[in-house]
Amino acid sequence: MNPKSVGVIGAGAWGTGFAQALGRGGHKVTLWALEQEVVDSINNEHENKKFLPGFKLSENLTASTNLEEVATGKDFLILASPSLYLASTVKKLVTIPNIAEGDTYIGVLTKGFVPSKNGPKLCLETIENVLPGIYKGNTVYISGPSHAEEVAMGKLTGLIAACENPKNTIIFRELMRVPGLLAYSSLDVIGVQVCACVKNVIAVVYGCCDAISETSDTFGDNSESLLLAAGLNEIQQFGFALGATHAETFTSIAGVGDLDVTCKSKYGRNRRFGQDIIKKNILSNFKDLDDLINRVSEIGYLPEGAIACKYVHEVSAKLNLKLVICDGLYRILNREVEPEEFLRELLRLKKRVKR
């Protein structure tokens, strides 16, 4: 293998886990973190104690709070910033010489929609509108069933590299040819991005159902499988409405694979959030969905599905789509309906609740 220099922008759990996989495979990786404590923890103790505690990190992995330093002169740049901050982060990169000249390959790990004055946008559309023109159609979206903890441990994980330029999908597949990762190509950049975003919304509802099932005579494993299948249908419906090009995207690891692990894994933050809604009545701390998003740091972890839910609701309303599960989570988080009441209504166990 020919080792590459890689900058990873965002030292959250997923950014760190992905960087660890590349470092373990021999690449030289530098992580950008906003917090000095994270940088010190990675550089001095080879562990990201704040966002991915308990995992010894590769000697090939270092960190810095200097964004320009992390991005300068790299063969590859991987964007892993939260969706809310993706656009503002990318704007700081465009004058760096290797980015301005298009010499660095850019990939994106961020999941979700990015807010803009013209409404929510998918990640690749957002950054390609900010980056130099050479990146149009050439940035790569990386997704799949990939909890950071297992990636950091080196447990076998499949990922899809999606790009309009097939050559770039192959280049990223080669980058990810490291122990523990299997990489595949896709040309369906919209479909893969939609799967990565909307599965988090479904997983929150799944977590609610899972928690209710523990003490319910009505809901159980069968109900959860019904919910997962119905959720996949909504993801596919939403994806095609936005311009997804390949039906097999939704039956691949980008679709059903990622949805399954997000709903069922013990590491899933969105599943956990759904469970906490039931078991800890966590929504009682917030007035509505906007209040929750504004104060999301108070939860103690980031449930991406709660943020994505707002944008999926906005986009689906514009497209006149009927996404019952996604709309239901919006109503739950907006304090319009109780989770069990919604699930009963969803499964037609009682009359539909009036808005």
Q: What is the pLDDT of residues 53-91, one digit of tens each?
A: 999 999 999 999 999 999 999 999 999 998 888 999 999
Rounded Cα distance between 283 and 281, Å, is: 6
Q: Which two tokens stand for residue 104?
A: 């660095």
Q: Of all residues in the chain, what percent carry a pLDDT higher than 70?
A: 98
Q: What is the pLDDT of residues 121-134, one digit of tens each?
A: 999 999 999 999 99
Cβ atoms 39, 65 nearer than 8 A? yes
Q: Hey, what domains does the chain have and what are their CATH numbers? A: 5-187 (3.40.50.720), 190-346 (1.10.1040.10)
Report the predicted TM-score, pTM, of the whole model to 2 decimal places.
0.94
CB contact burial 149-172 (16+ within 10 A = b; e otherwise): bbbbebeebbbbbbbbeeebbebb
pLDDT confidence tier of residue 167, bands split at 50, 70 and 90: very high
Helices (H), 65-185: 67-71, 86-91, 97-100, 123-128, 148-153, 166-175
Q: What is the pLDDT of residue 117?
A: 86
199 assigned to active site = yes
Half-sphere exposure at residue 215, Cβ-oriented, CA atoms within 13 angstroms: 7
Active-site annotation holder among 121, 199, 279, 350: 199
Q: 106 pLDDT exceeds 80? A: yes
Q: What is the pLDDT of residues 137-164, one digit of tens each?
A: 999 999 999 999 999 999 999 999 999 9
| Strand stretches in the chain, DSSP E | 5-9, 28-32, 61-64, 76-79, 105-108, 113-114, 121-122, 140-143, 157-162, 181-186
Of 25-34, 140-149, 346-355, where does mean pLDDT reach its minimum? 346-355
